[in-house]
Amino acid sequence: MRKINNNIRRNPRFVFNYSIVFLTTLMFVLINNTLNAQSTVDSTRVVRPMPEIVKAQTQQAEAEWLKLWKEGPTKIVWDKMPLQEGDKAPDFELENSSSNLIKLSDLWIKKPMLLIFW
C-alpha cells in the first residue's frame, strides 16, 4: 500500500490536481470569511435616514456638476482683471526701491521679468 501512495504522489498530474483543489478550497474559505466579515452589523453604528435638505442639496450639486460636465472645458475671457494663464501682462508702472517709477515694458526690453507681489 505504501508503494502505491508514493507512486501516486510522484505523479505530476496528481500533484497538479491536488494543488488546484487545495488552492480553490483556500480561495473559497478566504472569500467566504471576507464576505461574512463585511455583512456583520456593527452594533454601535446607528443608521439614520438622510435629511430631506441634504438630499435636495445633493441632487442640486449633482445636476450642476452634470450640466458643467456636458458643457465641457471653457476659458473665461475678461475685459479687465483678473488675468488668466496665457494672457499678456498689462504694461503698468511701479516704484522701485529707490522710489523711481519704472514701466514694466522698459524692463522687458533687456530680459524676461519675474514679478513677485506681497
9: in domain: yes
Count: domains in the chain: 1
58-110 residue pLDDT tens: 999 999 999 988 988 777 666 666 777 777 777 888 888 888 998 888 887 87
Q: What is the pLDDT of residue 57?
A: 94
69: in domain: no
- Give the rounded percent of residues in the chain with a pLDDT score beyond 70: 70
63: in domain: no
2: in domain: yes
Q: What is the pTM of this model?
A: 0.28
Distance CA 46, CA 49 (A): 10
In this prediction, residue 43 has a pLDDT band, given cuts at 50, 70 and 90, of low
102: in domain: no
* 3-state secondary structure at position 93: strand
31: in domain: yes
Question: Residue 13 belongs to what domain range?
Answer: 1-42
Q: What is the pLDDT of residue 24?
A: 86
Distance CA 38, CA 34 (A): 6
25: in domain: yes
11: in domain: yes
* Pair 108, 114: CB distance under 8 Å: no
Q: Does residue 1 carry a pLDDT above 50?
A: no
Which is nearest to 96 in space by CA: 107, 112, 82?
A: 107
